[in-house]
Structure 1
Amino acid sequence: MTTAAYAAIRRHTHWGVVSVVVGAGIVTGIQVGKAAIATPMLQADLGFNLTAAGWLTGIFAVLGLVGGIPAGTLVSRTGDRRMLVLGLGAIALGTVMGATAPGYPVLLASRVLEGLGFLLVTVAGPAILNRMVGDGQRDIAFALWSCFMPAGMALVMLAGPLFGDWRTLWWGNAGLAAAAIVAGLAIVPAATARVSVSWRSAASDSLRVLTSREPILLAACFASYSLMFFALFSFLPVLLMEQMAIAHGTAGLLSSVATGANIIGNLAAGYLLARGISRPALLAGAYLIMGLAGIGIFLQVFGGTPTLALCILFSGVGGLIPATLISSVPLVASSAALAPVVIGLVMQGSNLGQVIGPVAVGGATGIYGWAAAAGIVLIAALIATVAAMVTNFDDSRIR
C-alpha cells in the first residue's frame, strides 16, 4: 500500500470495525475471567486448591511469554484480520477441549490453546485499529480497546454463577468465540497489501525492537500492571467469600462491579491523554495508588465493605494504565512498520505479569496467607513507577 493510500484510509475512523475488534477482545477477556469465577465450582468438582487454580489462570498466558514478538511479526506479514480469526478459532477449539476434559491435565492443556488464541487476538486487534482509525481518534479508539479485559472479566464474573456447572460455562464461551469469528469475517476488511514473509527480515525487526530502550520499558510497565491486576482479580471471588462470608453468586456480582470499574479508568485515560496530560505522571500516580490499595486489600485490616471499596479503587485507577501504554506504542516504535512488533513485545510483558501474578499469589497465599500478596503487589508498583518515570514518550512521533 502506498503512503498516500494509507493516509487516505487513516483520515476516517471505521467505528463498526472498532466495535467488532473490541468485541473480539471482550471474548478473550471472558476466557481469562472464567477461571476465576469458576474456581469454587472447580474446587468442588475436581478438588482444586488455590495453587492449582492459580496455574489454571496463569498458564493461559504462557505462550505469550515467548510468542508476542513473533505474533506481531506474523500479523504485519500475513494479515491482521486473518490472525484475528485464527485466534478466535483457537479460543473456540480450546474451550470445547476444556468443556470435555476428563480431569485437570487436559483442562490445563486446553488453557494453553485458549492462550494461543488470546495472544493472536490481542496482537491483531491493535494492528487492525492502527490501520483503520484516524489519527485524531487514536487515543479514544485505543482506550475502548483497552477495556476488553475488564469488560470481559466483569461480564463473566456476573454471568458465571448463573451457570449450573463450569462445563456449561465453557460451552457457552465456545459459542461466543464462534459468533465473533462470523462478525470478524463479515465486517473487518482485509488489508489491501501485506509484506511478504521473510524470516531474516522478521529476525531483524525483532532484534531492533529488543535492543530499543523505550519498547523494553513499555513492556516492563505492562508486565508490572498485569501482575498487580491478576494478583487480585484471579482470586477476588474467593477472597470476598472468605472476607465477607457471602455466597458464590454475590461474590461474582461484587467482583463484576470491581472489575467493571477498570473500564471507567480506561475511558478516562483516553479523555485525559487527549487533553495533553503527562503520560509518565499518569502512569506513576496510578501505580502508586494501586500499590497502596493492594496493601489494604490483602492485609484485610478493614471490614468487608471497605475492602470492596479498595478493590474498586484499585481497579478503577488501574484502568488508566493499559489505555495509556497501548496508545503509546506508536510513540516508542522507531517506524510504523515496527509498531505491530512493539505491540507483540508489550503483550509479552502483559502475559509475563499474567503468569507471575496468579501463580505467585496462589503459591504464597497457600503458605503465608493473604498478607504475602500485599508485598508482591507493592514491589511491582514501585518497579513500575520507576520504569514509567524514565520512559521517553515522544509525542511528536504520532502518525
Structure 2
Amino acid sequence: MLLGRRETWIYLTGLLAAAQMGKMPLLMPLISPELGLSLLAGAIVISLIELGGALFGAPAAGIAARCGEWRTLSLGLALLAAGSLGEALAPTGPWLTAARVAESAGYLAVIVSAPVLMAREAQRLSPGTALVVWSTFFPAGLGLGTVLSGALAAPLGWRGVLLFWALAGAALWLCAPRLRSDAKPTAPITAFRPSGASLVLAAGFGGFTCFHVGILALMPEFLISQKGATPGLAGLVTGLGGFLTIAGIALPLWLSRRYPLRFSLPLLTLGLLLPAVLLFGIFHPATSPGTSAALFLALNLLAGLFPPLAFGSIPRFAGPGGLGPANGALAQAGAAGSLLGPPAYAAVVSHAGWLSAAGFGLALSLIPLLLLSALESRSLPR
C-alpha cells in the first residue's frame, strides 16, 4: 500500500475539497428557480470556489506556514462542512453566496496545507512521489462530486445533496488522525516567499490548467452544437475524459520511485504538445463524432501526465524550507488558469470558430513547454 493512514486521510480531504467544485454545476439548474437566481448569478456562485485560490493562493500558503499546516487543514475541512450546510439551508441567493464564500475559504485552506503535509508525513514514499499521488486529487474529487451529486439529486433534491456533503465533511473531520508524540518533525520554515524557480514552475502549471480546464468546459458545447450529441452523451464523454486524466499518474509514479523526476522533452511533448495537436483533429469539421470523442479521451489520458510531473517537481525547485510557499504559488496559478481558460476559449470560438480554438490551445501549451524546458536546463548540473 502506497499511503499510510495519516497520508490517506490527508488525501481524502483533497478529494472532498475538489468534490465541492464538481457538485455545484449539476445542482445549479435545480437551485436557481427556487432561489430566483439568474444564469449569471448562478455562474458566479459556481466559480466562487476557485476565486479564493486565484487571488490569495500564495499569501494563504504563508499564513498556513505561520499558523501550522495541520491546524489550517482542520479549519479548512470545518469550513467545507459548514459551507455545504449553509448552502443546504439557504433561503435566498445572498445566503447561498455567503455559504459558497465560506466553502471557498475552506477549499483554499485545504489545497495550500494538505500537499505540504503529504510530502512531510509520507512514510513509504519520497516527498516528490507523495506529491505525484496528491496530484490526482483534483480530477478524482471533481469526478466524485459530479457523479455522486448527479446520482443523489433525484432522490434527495438539491438540499439533500448539499446536506450529504456537509455530513461527509463533518465525518472526515471527526476521523482526523491524532498527532503522535513520536510524529516526524516538520521541516523548519526558512522561507515565506516562493523561490524564483517555483514561480516559473507555477506559471507553467497555470498555462496548463488554462489549456486543459478550458477544453473540459467547452467540450459538451462542441459535441452538442457541432456533432449532434445529446446532452447526456456529451456529459458522459466529458466526464470520462476527466476521469482518464487520473490514469496519467502511472508513468510519473513509476519514474519517481526509480529516478528523480525531470521535465524531459519527451515527457513534456507527451503531456503538453501532443494533447494540443490532437485538438485540431477533435475540432475539425470533417471529423466524425465518434472520432472526436476518441481523440478527446486520448487528449485527457496524455494530459494527465503533466500534473504529477509538476507537483512531483515542487521539492526540487522550492528551496530550503520553501515547500509551502512554492505549493501556494502553484495553487494560485492553477486556480487562475482554471478561471481564465473557459471564457478565453469561448471568446476565441465566438469570434473565430472552433479550429481557431485549437490554435489557441496550442499556443497555451507552448507556454509551459518553453518555460519548463528552460527551467530544467538551468537546473541541470554543469
User: 1:324 Cα shift?
Assistant: 1.0
Q: Indicate yes or no: 2:339 matched with 1:350.
A: no
Higher mean C-alpha deviation, range 82-91 or range 39-48: 39-48
Q: Deviations over 1:56-78 (max 9, x none)?
A: 44332111123222222233232
The count of corresponding residues between Structure 1 and Structure 2 is 372
Q: Of the candidates 252, 266, 291, which is equivalent to residue 249 of structure 2?
A: 266
Contact 1:22–1:145 at 8 Å: present in 2 too? yes
Identify the residue that residue 3 of structure 1 maps to in structure 2: none
Q: Indicate yes or no: 2:113 matched with 1:124.
A: yes
Identify the residue that residue 28 of structure 1 maps to in structure 2: 17
- The whole-number CA distance in structure 1 between the counterparts of 2:104 and 2:179 is 22
User: 1:235 Cα shift?
Assistant: 4.7
Q: Of the candidates 287, 291, 316, which is equivalent to residue 301 of structure 2?
A: 316
Higher mean C-alpha deviation, range 99-108 or range 163-172: 99-108
- Residue aligned with 1:279, SS: coil
For the structure 1 residues 241 and 216, does the alpha-carbon distance in structure 2 shift closer, same or farther, using more than 3 Å as the test? same
Higher mean C-alpha deviation, range 117-126 or range 172-181: 172-181
Higher mean C-alpha deviation, range 339-348 or range 276-285: 276-285
For the structure 1 residues 128 and 319, does the alpha-carbon distance in structure 2 shift closer, same or farther, using more than 3 Å as the test? same
Identify the residue that residue 180 of structure 1 maps to in structure 2: 172
- The whole-number CA distance in structure 1 between the counterparts of 2:102 and 2:30 is 22
Q: Deviations over 1:129-186 (max 9, x none)?
A: 1211148543442222111111112223333332124443323222222222122x23
- Residue aligned with 2:131, SS: helix
Q: Of the candidates 32, 46, 50, which is equivalent to residue 61 of structure 1?
A: 50
Aligned pairs for 1:1-399 within 5 A: 15-38=4-27, 41=30, 49=39, 55-102=44-91, 106-134=95-123, 136-162=125-151, 163-164=153-154, 165-183=157-175, 185-186=176-177, 205-207=191-193, 209=194, 212-242=195-225, 243-248=227-232, 250-276=233-259, 278-281=262-265, 282-298=267-283, 301-335=286-320, 337-361=321-345, 373-392=357-376, 394=379
Higher mean C-alpha deviation, range 386-395 or range 98-107: 98-107
Q: TM-score, normalised by structure 2?
A: 0.83
User: 1:239 Cα shift?
Assistant: 4.6
Q: Deviations over 1:292-332 (max 9, x none)?
A: 23344455653332222222222221111111111111101
For the structure 1 residues 175 and 306, does the alpha-carbon distance in structure 2 shift closer, same or farther, using more than 3 Å as the test? farther
For the structure 1 residues 161 and 121, does the alpha-carbon distance in structure 2 shift closer, same or farther, using more than 3 Å as the test? same
RMSD (Å) for aligned C-alpha atoms: 3.4
Higher mean C-alpha deviation, range 146-155 or range 75-84: 75-84
- The whole-number CA distance in structure 2 between the counterparts of 1:99 and 1:241 is 32
Higher mean C-alpha deviation, range 170-179 or range 361-370: 361-370
For the structure 1 residues 300 and 76, does the alpha-carbon distance in structure 2 shift closer, same or farther, using more than 3 Å as the test? farther
Query: Which amino acid in the other structure matches residue 171 of structure 1?
Result: L
Q: Unaligned stretches of 5+ in structure 1?
A: 1-12, 197-201
User: 1:264 Cα shift?
Assistant: 0.5
- Residue aligned with 2:322, SS: helix
For the structure 1 residues 86 and 220, does the alpha-carbon distance in structure 2 shift closer, same or farther, using more than 3 Å as the test? same
User: 1:358 Cα shift?
Assistant: 3.0
User: 1:27 Cα shift?
Assistant: 0.8
For the structure 1 residues 375 and 283, does the alpha-carbon distance in structure 2 shift closer, same or farther, using more than 3 Å as the test? same
Higher mean C-alpha deviation, range 358-367 or range 122-131: 358-367
